[in-house]
Amino acid sequence: MKGWKIIKPFLLKESESNETVDSTSISKVKITKALITLSDVLRYSDELDGESVILGNSGIGVISETDANLFGLEKGQRVYIEPIVTCGTCENCKKGDDSHCTELKRAGIDFDGFLCDFATVKAENLFALPDSVADFNALFLDQISLAISVVDKLKIQKGDYVAIVGANNFGNILAQLLIYYQAVPIVVTNNLEDYKIAKDSGIYYVLGPDDNWQKEVANITSARMTKNVVYISDCDIPTTKAFALASFNAGIAYTGVSNKNNSVSFAQAIKKQLKIYFINNKHGNTAASINLIANKAINLSNLKLDTAPYDKVPEVLQNMQKTLEEKGKIYETVIDLV
């Protein structure tokens, strides 16, 4: 087994792994596609801490070795690999409440990710993909799972206005999920390309860089503003913009695909007595995310991303890091391993 591992900042090396397969509990998966996200780029440039592991926090593949009928899995089956695993040792895990694990481990950060040819995975972390879920869509299951966590945490109801600050691919997915749940997303972005993508995705309320966000949100909500705001931490929009869109005592979800560092002033939040939630745990939502895609609840065809072969991973990361430095944002890249 081999995969791309960070040796030091801005340097990758294709490293061999000598992992073996325990047929009683673990399957061997041939990785067919993986997704390079902002987290990988921040790891590459030493802006995000992590272990010395193979990168890639989203991947799909085909089972190449497994015990007969283990968890209903079969050789040759197309699967999505759960990128979040519980520690098994914290107090919550010991009590059987692994959905509230305090030491969740993440692929590409805490253990080997999926920018590799093969991966050994516990059968419980593999999800069979129905034919109705295309490879491309499956790579975004992790982001859909995070969007579900946001909706659950904020207890968003039918008809609620929800401001989404930041319109990257994750912001787009979250907005579509809110529409599916019959809430009303208001997406704000300082990027014209993201603005167009959001509009093309069927999101009705999208405010761009030339709009007065606070005034427009007040008009849309009849001056009530929104009782829920989601701030996408991957964006470069000041958090004060998010607080300005919130009503008194509103809920603010601080979330994103990466754990990118941001500068935050809480003066406005204190004045409005906002309730701030930091959301990063999407464990347990994978099955629901697969159903959402299978039922065509979310359309990912308009998302912007690039593609590249496995041997170009070092070049891809270098170019993505340069783009992030120059433009302040990047889009995901699909790595094809077949």
What six digits make up the tokens of 325? 């430095």
Q: How far apart are CA 139 and CA 11, in angstroms?
A: 25
Q: What is the pLDDT of residue 22?
A: 43
**In order along the chain (338 residues), what is the average pLDDT of each group of 10 residues?**
88 73 67 95 88 90 77 85 87 83 87 91 90 94 96 95 95 96 97 94 95 97 96 90 95 90 86 94 91 94 93 95 91 93
Q: In this structure, which amino acid lies at residue 71?
A: F
What is the bridge-based pairing of β-strands 226-232 and 246-255? parallel
Q: In this structure, which amino acid lies at residue 177?
A: L
Q: What is the pLDDT of residue 150?
A: 96
Q: What is the pLDDT of residue 318?
A: 95
Task: Provide the whole-model pTM.
Answer: 0.93
Helices (H), 112-164: 135-138, 141-154
Q: How far apart are CA 135 and CA 133, in angstroms?
A: 7
Q: In this structure, which amino acid lies at residue 94?
A: K
Residues in the chain: 338
What six digits make up the tokens of 41? 């780029």
What six digits make up the tokens of 227? 């009782």
Least Cα distance to 321 among 124, 313, 150 occurs for 313
Per-domain boundaries in the chain: 2-139+303-336, 143-279
Q: What is the pLDDT of residue 75?
A: 86
What is the bridge-based pairing of β-strands 105-106 and 84-85? antiparallel
Q: What is the pLDDT of residue 315?
A: 96
Q: What CATH class has 2-139+303-336?
A: alpha beta
State the CATH architecture for 143-279: 3-Layer(aba) Sandwich (3.40)
Q: What is the pLDDT of residue 92?
A: 86
Q: How far apart are CA 319 and CA 338, in angstroms?
A: 22
Q: What is the pLDDT of residue 121?
A: 87
